[in-house]
């Protein structure tokens, strides 16, 4: 199939973009993409590709923007229930951390998730995945983390694998038993940490191999934060995960700086996420590394907090920056990466071009998919969007709605 006559074809060609390179959209005016099967066979100007491929099925983009599918590299997609009551409590003055310390927060979603049947978990998670897809997210990372005990965590992992197989949203799983200390281990944080290292991580390896999955192991993530996992506990979990061959991600500096960013960079984490209270020295360290900083602007927005990721400093330090929704029931229930782009333009002070690159090619690097996803280049997977506008800057400029008209996943136009 030949998708042609795009006013602007955003190729994002040339790999992930660090520092001042962020925002190179590689625009081809009056552009076209030739798709063969699940992959991109050629990218170029419409007149050239019409000549090269005269007999193919055609899809006229009618003078609108064509771009890679959005990639959401940080989500807590699988959970049951909601926390609307906590939202109201926060508006009345309680903080997120106070609610968590009093047994609410992640633990409240843990109870709902443990109690839910697999069918209920599937149905609630599927509804969110579908919505994300309609908003143009073609691939998302997705974490467990609301089971906080082995069986329930593995159930969540199983739900994610099943929804990935179902499609159309492609899911890249992360195993996150280190999301919070479950109530049964209150005051015994080190014991829960040991349980993760000695039992849960090896069990996840076995689960993976028993399923005969020939994809790489999932990511392991840790919530390094006061009230969750200390720097030392984070270090133990990351070290155990690394020994078992897992790639690493870490939640750092969402509320307080415990030194997690420096540790994660030293240990070669694929990404560090949130990155709000990160120090200048840590940002400089990030700048020289392959670790991607994933900013989650829906979270401070959702919590009505004024501090966001110091994105411009990360760019100035030559770091890799990506953006994600962080969709979760506590701080940020948002399926829409277009809204993330709008927030990134306003609060991270990115240009629309920088925000688009952070949500595509750099987001692909944050989930180790830069070889196959995130840009429109020959040989890459044919995941692309046709927008309803002819100028890409409407992404960012407009907010709260949906500018995606058509989603093509693995070469097929997906119709609801």
Residues that bind ligand NIG (CB under 6 A): 76, 105-106, 109, 223, 251, 254, 299, 326, 328-331
261 closest CA partner among 301, 314, 327, 204: 314
Output the smallest distance, CB 9 to Fe ion, in A: 33
Output the smallest distance, CB 95 to ligand NIG, in A: 12
Output the smallest distance, CB 339 to ligand NIG, in A: 16
Q: Which of 76, 380 has the CB closer to ligand NIG?
A: 76
105 binds, among Fe ion, ligand NIG, none (CB under 5 to 8 A by kind): ligand NIG
Residue 231 exposed, middle or buried by CB count within 10 Å (0-12, 13-18, 19+):
middle
Task: Supply the DSSP symbol for 31.
Answer: E
Give residue 401's Cα distance to chain centre: 20
Q: At what angle do helices 150-166 and 106-115 cross, to 10 degrees?
A: 70
Q: Is 141 in the site for Fe ion (CB under 5 A)?
A: no
Residues 374-403 that bind Fe ion (CB under 5 A): none
Strands 66-68, 58-60: pairing is unpaired
Q: Which stretch binds Fe ion (CB under 5 A): 47-55, 78-86, 186-194, 323-331?
A: 323-331
Q: Which of 145, 287 has the CB closer to Fe ion?
A: 145
Nearest-CB residue for ligand NIG? 330
Query: How far separated are the first and last CA of the chain, in Å rounded?
Result: 20
Q: Which of 179, 409 has the CB closer to ligand NIG?
A: 179
Residue 115 exposed, middle or buried by CB count within 10 Å (0-12, 13-18, 19+):
exposed
Q: Which of 225, 326 has the CB closer to Fe ion?
A: 326
3-class DSSP state of 66: strand
One of 86, 141, 326, 335 touching Fe ion (CB under 5 A)? 326
Distance CA 244, CA 16 (A): 27
Nearest-CB residue for Fe ion? 326
Largest CA distance in the chain: 70
Burial 168-183 (b: 16+ CB within 10 A, else e): bbbbbbbbbbbbbbbe
109 binds, among Fe ion, ligand NIG, none (CB under 5 to 8 A by kind): ligand NIG
Output the smallest distance, CB 76 to Fe ion, in A: 6
Strands 137-143, 70-72: pairing is parallel
Q: Which of 135, 223 has the CB closer to ligand NIG?
A: 223
Q: Which of 146, 207 has the CB closer to Fe ion?
A: 146
Output the smallest distance, CB 205 to ligand NIG, in A: 24
Q: Which residues bind Fe ion (CB under 5 A)?
A: 326
């Amino acid at each position: 199939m030949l998708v042609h006559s795009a006013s602007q074809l955003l190729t994002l060609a040339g790999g992930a973009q660090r520092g001042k390179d962020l925002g190179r959209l590689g625009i081809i005016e009056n552009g076209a993409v030739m798709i063969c099967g699940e992959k991109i066979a050629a990218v170029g100007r419409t007149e050239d590709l019409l000549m090269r491929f005269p007999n193919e099925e055609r899809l006229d983009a009618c003078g609108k923007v064509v771009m890679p599918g959005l990639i959401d590299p940080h989500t807590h997609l699988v959970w049951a229930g909601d926390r609307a009551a906590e939202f109201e409590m926060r508006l009345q003055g309680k903080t997120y951390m106070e609610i968590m310390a009093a047994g609410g927060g992640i633990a409240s979603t843990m109870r709902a998730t443990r109690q839910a049947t697999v069918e209920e978990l599937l149905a609630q998670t599927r509804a969110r995945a579908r919505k994300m897809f309609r908003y143009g997210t073609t691939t998302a990372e997705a974490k467990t983390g609301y089971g906080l005990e082995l069986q329930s965590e593995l159930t969540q992992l199983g739900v994610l694998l099943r929804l990935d197989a179902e499609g159309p949203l492609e899911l890249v799983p992360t195993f996150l038993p280190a999301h919070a200390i479950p109530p049964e281990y209150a005051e015994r944080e080190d014991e829960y940490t040991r349980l993760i290292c000695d039992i849960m991580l090896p069990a996840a390896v076995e689960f993976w191999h028993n399923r005969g999955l020939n994809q790489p192991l999932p990511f392991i993530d840790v919530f390094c934060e006061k009230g969750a996992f200390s720097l030392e506990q984070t270090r133990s979990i990351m070290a155990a995960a690394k020994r078992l061959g897992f790639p690493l991600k870490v939640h750092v500096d969402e509320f307080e700086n415990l030194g997690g960013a420096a540790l994660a960079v030293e240990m070669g984490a694929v990404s560090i996420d949130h990155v709000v209270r990160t120090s200048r020295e840590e940002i400089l360290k990030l700048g020289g590394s392959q670790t991607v900083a994933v900013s989650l602007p829906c979270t401070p927005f959702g919590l009505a907090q004024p501090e966001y990721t110091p994105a411009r400093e990360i760019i100035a330090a030559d770091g890799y920056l990506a953006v994600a929704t962080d969709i979760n029931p506590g701080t940020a229930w948002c399926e829409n990466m277009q809204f993330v782009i709008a927030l990134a333009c306003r609060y991270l002070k990115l240009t629309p071009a920088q925000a688009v690159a952070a949500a595509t090619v750099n987001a692909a690097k944050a989930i180790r998919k830069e070889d196959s996803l995130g840009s429109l280049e020959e040989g890459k997977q044919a995941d692309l969007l046709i927008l309803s506008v002819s100028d890409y800057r409407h992404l960012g400029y407009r907010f709260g709605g949906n500018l995606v008209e058509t989603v093509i996943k693995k070469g097929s136009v997906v119709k609801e």
